[in-house]
Amino acid sequence: MENMENVLMQKYEFGKMLGQGNFAKVYHARNLISGENIAVKVIDKEKVLKVGLIDQTKREISVMGMVKHPNIIQLYEVMATKTKIYFAMEYAKGGELFDKVAKGRLKEDVARKYFQQLICAVDFCHSRGVYHRDLKPENLLLDEYGNLKVTDFGLSVHASCTHLDGLLHTTCGTPAYVAPEVISRRGYDGAKSDIWSCGVVLFVLLTGQLPFKDSNIMQLYKKISKAEYKCPSSLPPDVRKLLKRILDPNPVTRISMNKIMENSWFNEGFDAKQMKNSLETDPPSCHADVIVKPLFDPKKPDFNKVSSFNAFDIISLSTGFDLSGLFVENDQKDEVKFTSLKPASDIISKMEQIATGLKMEIGKNKGGLLKFKKVCESGNTSLFIDVEIFEITTGFHMVEVKKSGGDAFEYRKILKNDIKPALGDIVFAWHGE
């Protein structure tokens, strides 16, 4: 292993590397005390700090500590040195489910077994208020007995992170597996979006191919938004009906977890009582509680730090790739974007100045996110506006202004008559204009 002792913390002996990503590598290891085979995820702390993924790393640790389930990879211990962060985790000897699917579609009963275990794991996450947000075969592992294990909670989030409208607003995941409402950037229910991804996984297991695919990203998103896919005639009618209810582009009418678990095709060969007993009687592990040692040195918060961009945000920068038009008319949007060449501190100062002039309450500025509240003249409701600043490159920012709660008409009136005119030379260009 490069720049690393063969034994970590005098406890874990490292073996071969199992896989790697941009910020982390995963190794097979052995617990020298218990003799147990484990996996150790090694994260480059400097890279995580550099790209602003500290909070995401902490959230992954927190979430994994909440979801102890037979079909979820368990996190045993978290350690850190000056340069690395180490996750000691359950080892899945069978590798990725993706490798099995890459060889072709699975038999119906095998696909059903994996789908049952996936639904049980995700339903358990939801019962703990956790939404995975990146479910796909690459993030589903198999143990030595062929049991499915959900892994990679790097994009997961807790229900407490929802906005005032009760929805999540961060667009993330893998394009071919994300739900239409996630792409629309208008807020989404984390549970319903996970259900959609489970449906895509089921389709892949049964057919060996994706339901939505296109080399053109816009065409792909259009197919997803309309749920345009073709089921092979070889699939049984009851499977096709279930897929249709899961891959429903309307999250309101999309089938729920409870209804999936009541479905006759799903229940074939499924022992719900045995699953419940395994949760209640699972022998306590020697890693009963996740041990977390300090990861980062405490630093004074930087209130001018702004959010980082992901692939979805960069795609949406181009007017040609603005996907919101697929879901809402231009003059009815509850959010607008503009780019600016000004420093983040100038943008924040200007927005607070505008809010003060409008007699709005100013919330805390946290990581480039400003929150404003205005009590409407009727006195019955309040208007909530979020302003989030993203750094694209040094000295070039994109700012998103959106209504997070309250009357849409009042928001559009203030935006048109007060906010836009007052921004003046802060704006380099309005997105879409």
What are the pLDDT digits (tens) for 295-306? Answer: 555 443 344 455
Yes or no: say if 184 and 192 are a contact pair by the CB < 8 Å rule.
Answer: no
State the pLDDT at residue 366: 65
Please give the class, per CATH, of domain 311-430. alpha beta
Q: Domain ranges for the chain, please list them.
A: 7-91, 95-281, 311-430
pTM of the model as a whole: 0.67
**Chain segment 257-309, per-residue pLDDT in tens:** 999 999 999 999 987 766 665 565 454 444 445 555 555 554 433 444 555 55
152 is written with which tokens?
């990679």
Nearest one of 391, 433, 408 to 50, comparing CA atoms: 391
Rounded-to-integer distance, Cα 410 and Cα 146, Å: 56
pLDDT tens string, the chain, 433 residues long: the values are 444 457 888 899 999 999 887 788 999 999 999 999 999 999 988 888 877 777 788 888 888 988 999 999 999 999 888 889 999 999 999 999 999 998 899 999 999 999 999 999 999 999 999 999 999 999 999 999 999 999 999 889 888 888 877 888 888 888 999 999 998 878 899 999 999 999 999 999 999 999 999 888 889 999 999 999 999 999 999 999 999 999 999 999 999 999 999 999 999 998 776 666 556 545 444 444 555 555 555 443 344 455 555 544 544 444 444 444 433 444 456 788 888 888 888 888 899 899 988 888 888 666 668 888 887 665 567 888 999 888 776 677 888 898 888 888 888 889 988 999 999 889 888 876 5
Query: Between the CA of residue 67 and those of 118, 158, 260, what are the distances in Å?
Result: 14, 11, 21
Rounded-to-integer distance, Cα 373 and Cα 358, Å: 10
Rounded-to-integer distance, Cα 222 and Cα 12, Å: 48
State the pLDDT at residue 321: 41
The answer to whether 41 is a known ligand-binding residue is yes
Residue owning tokens 């077994």:
113
Rounded-to-integer distance, Cα 297 and Cα 310, Å: 26
- Name the architecture of domain 95-281: Orthogonal Bundle (1.10)
Nearest one of 125, 133, 431 to 279, comparing CA atoms: 125
State the pLDDT at residue 22: 75
State the pLDDT at residue 340: 87
Fold match between 7-91 and 311-430? no
The three-class DSSP label of residue 298 is coil
Amino acid at 329: E
Residue owning tokens 């789908």:
115
Average pLDDT, the chain: 83
- Name the architecture of domain 7-91: 2-Layer Sandwich (3.30)
Catalytic site residues?
Answer: 134
State the pLDDT at residue 316: 47
Side-chain-side CA neighbours of 114 within 13 Å: the count stands at 30
Nearest one of 246, 249, 237 to 122, comparing CA atoms: 246
